[in-house]
Amino acid sequence: MTLLTLKTIEDRLFTAGAKTIHVEHFFRTWVSMKMFNDQSLNYPKLVKEEINQLLDEMNNSAQIIQEEKDGEDSSKLIVRLQDGEIIESVLLPRGGLCVSCQVGCAVGCVFCMTGKSGLVRQLTDFEIVSQLRLARQIRPISKVVFMGMGEPSHNRRNVLSAIDFMAKFSGIGYKNLVLSTVGDRRLFNELEQRTIKPALAISLHTTSDEKRKELLPNAERIPVIEIMDFASRYAKNTHYPIQYQWTLIRGLNDDDQELDRLEKLWLGQFAIMNMIPVNSVEGSSYVRPDSDRLSVIEDKLRQIGVLLKYRESAAQNVNGGCGQLRARYQAQKDEANG
């Protein structure tokens, strides 16, 4: 089965006789959820015919098959792809959307359900962008974060292509397109060379190189200090604060030694620290710190000038942290099939 890509769609339109203005109008209309009107431009007949064929294929390439709400502002979308694979997207408060970039993930974060399934396949750039269009069928979207299933640096060509597409055609600026990564030198090098850069989030989780090996077993072995040095340069070049992500696990990365090391590493950072008490994952012994410890961490970090935000992994009320709804859906499907 051949999966659609943005390049494939573009090539088919050009082959049918479209000019650049036609292709750009089509993409902008499609991702903005506007009705396609071939009278708004003087489309050649063959281009109109190709567009009708493409729209059928594009609409069948990714479909929402389930939505589970988490309060009024958030919900998790289960999306079935053309080949039957399942991914997740999350509608976030204030017009946000969290998208996936892979089916499964190879990093194997020990606190994440997605990592337990391993990497199944990469998403195409079109499949990534399709999640934005699907979400816009439900409500307006003004910010996209690449923090769903998968590690963006392991699919960087398609992720960066999707980011460029969104910035050009969707009305969402680069500052509101947030690329998240565990750290990857190839991605860092490519980001530094790009003229226009997305906002950046770093999945840090600890100041200890040894603990990172335990928590993120298949991530590239980059020293924490190197990751944070790159992040500091990137923030200064883009004028966007880095968003550090830290999943808090009791007895593992919530101790005073972590906070002392973080104080030294934080010097010169233009950044926000998002700390997320670990989400319960079936079969895992990891638990979140108690409320008293969270208060101590908050007081300490604010004393040393860290802008701290505590937040929950999206869709907790529906047992839907990253990968959990997909896993539950697959288990129910397997059970139904005997």
220 noted as active-site residue: no
Instruction: Convert 248-274 to b/e letters by CB count within 10 Å (16 or more is b).
Output: bbeebbbeeebbeebbebbeebebebb
Specify whether the CB–CB gap between 102 and 155 falls below 8 A.
yes
Q: How far is CA 260 from the centre of its chain?
A: 30
What is the phi-psi region of residue 177: left when phi exceeds 0, alpha when psi lies from -120 to 50, beta otherwise? Answer: beta
**Is residue 15 packed enough to be buried (19+ CB in 10 Å), middle (13-18) or exposed (0-12)?**
exposed
Element (H, E) at 70: strand 62-70
For residue 6, CA distances in Å to 10, 30, 126, 197, 230 come to 6, 12, 5, 20, 31
The letter for the amino acid at 225 is I
Residues 216, 212: Cα–Cα separation, whole Å: 5
Specify whether the CB–CB gap between 132 and 144 falls below 8 A.
yes
The letter for the amino acid at 45 is K
From 101, 109, 112, 322, the catalytic residue? 322
88 noted as active-site residue: yes
Q: What is the DSSP letter of 36?
A: P
Specify whether the CB–CB gap between 269 and 228 falls below 8 A.
yes
Q: What are phi and psi of 72, to 5 degrees?
A: -85, -25
From 88, 127, 151, 258, the catalytic residue? 88
Task: Provide DSSP, 76-127.
Answer: EEEEEETTS-EEEEEEETTTEEE---EEE-SS--TT-HHHHT-EEEEPPHHH
Specify whether the CB–CB gap between 235 and 188 falls below 8 A.
no
Catalytic residues: 88, 322
